[in-house]
Amino acid sequence: MVDSIDVVLLTKNSERVLVRCLDSLYQNVPVHRLIVVDGYSTDDTLTIVETYNQKHHNVDIIFDCGTRASARQKGIMAVQTEWFMFIDSDVVLCRDWFQKAVKNIDLHVGAVWGTEVWSTLKNPKMLKLFLLVTRKIFEIRGGTHDTLIRSVLVKDIQIPMKLHIFEDAYIKEHITQKGYKFVACYDLFCIHFRSDSVWTFKGSLSLVAEALRLGSPRLISKLFLAYGFYTVYSVYQFFVNRKNSL
């Protein structure tokens, strides 16, 4: 039985959604320690984090000025519990997240992944299509926005430091190569409040360009259609936002 877990949270100028994120975390997960790996934030991120430390007395802060790979590596090395969780700073967890997650644990499970749902998705048909695409992406590259991981399986990991994205794929492969399952769940999810900059032509193209620059040809070829859907949806959301602002 898993009683409590360490939680690794990567931050850098994350004040926009951080209060909602941490509220949902402490309400739905038995947090042993919150390990914040911060990229030297200049906004109110660390002030917000300190208020939760004053309340719960279980927050450790580590600083890192590298990539997401180096930040996740530092977070993993600081973990002390049998299982730990990665959570993104711009997500809000569903109710009873942890209780739902542990129901999927057995001797052969190395990680449990909660589905990501974008906060802008309102149309039921679009949501259904999005969930299908997201599941396909998970099968290829995994995910770390709300993921429970068996700690011993990644204590020996050495994530390539250049991986500012796709470090999640490296972690997933590291776990599955040891013969453990990386389980995906639909009833276990988080709402992802992506930055407004994503819903622009420049923002969506920037994300695609970064993926092409840092991803391996094999990985990109498998994700081509999925990222095509994301790009089309980003353009659609851009026009929705523009119409609503008029």
Q: What is the mean pLDDT of the chain?
A: 86
Q: Tell me the mean pLDDT in the region 58-84.
A: 97
Q: Tell me the mean pLDDT in the region 178-204.
A: 80
**Is the pLDDT score of 215 beyond 60?**
no
What is the predicted pLDDT for the residue at 43? 97
What pTM value is reported for the model?
Answer: 0.84
What is the predicted pLDDT for the residue at 209? 57
Q: Cα(88)–Cα(192) distance, rounded to whole angstroms?
A: 9
Coil, helix or strand at residue 37: strand
Cβ neighbours for 45, distance < 8 A, ≥ 6 positions apart: 11, 12, 13, 14, 15, 18, 38, 89
What is the predicted pLDDT for the residue at 18? 98
Confidence of residue 236 (pLDDT cuts 50, 70, 90): low
What is the predicted pLDDT for the residue at 129? 81
Q: Tell me the mean pLDDT in the region 28-49.
A: 98
Where is average pLDDT lowest: 69-73, 103-107, 183-187, 214-218? 214-218
209: left (phi over 0), alpha (psi -120 to 50) or beta: alpha
What is the predicted pLDDT for the residue at 225? 53
161, 154, 135: which is closest to 85 by C-alpha? Answer: 154
What is the predicted pLDDT for the residue at 200? 55
Residue whose entry in the numeric block shows the structure tokens 């042993």: 32
Q: Cβ(61)–Cβ(38) under 8 Å?
A: yes
What is the predicted pLDDT for the residue at 164? 84
Q: Tell me the mean pLDDT in the region 220-229.
A: 56
Which tens digit of pLDDT belongs to each residue from 85-135?
A: 999 999 999 999 999 999 999 999 999 999 999 888 888 888 888 788 788
Coil, helix or strand at residue 120: coil
**Is the pLDDT score of 230 beyond 80?**
no
What is the predicted pLDDT for the residue at 245? 57
- Select the more confidently predicted residue: 240 or 2: 2
Which tens digit of pLDDT belongs to each residue from 128-178?
A: 887 887 887 787 778 899 999 999 999 999 999 988 888 999 999 999 999
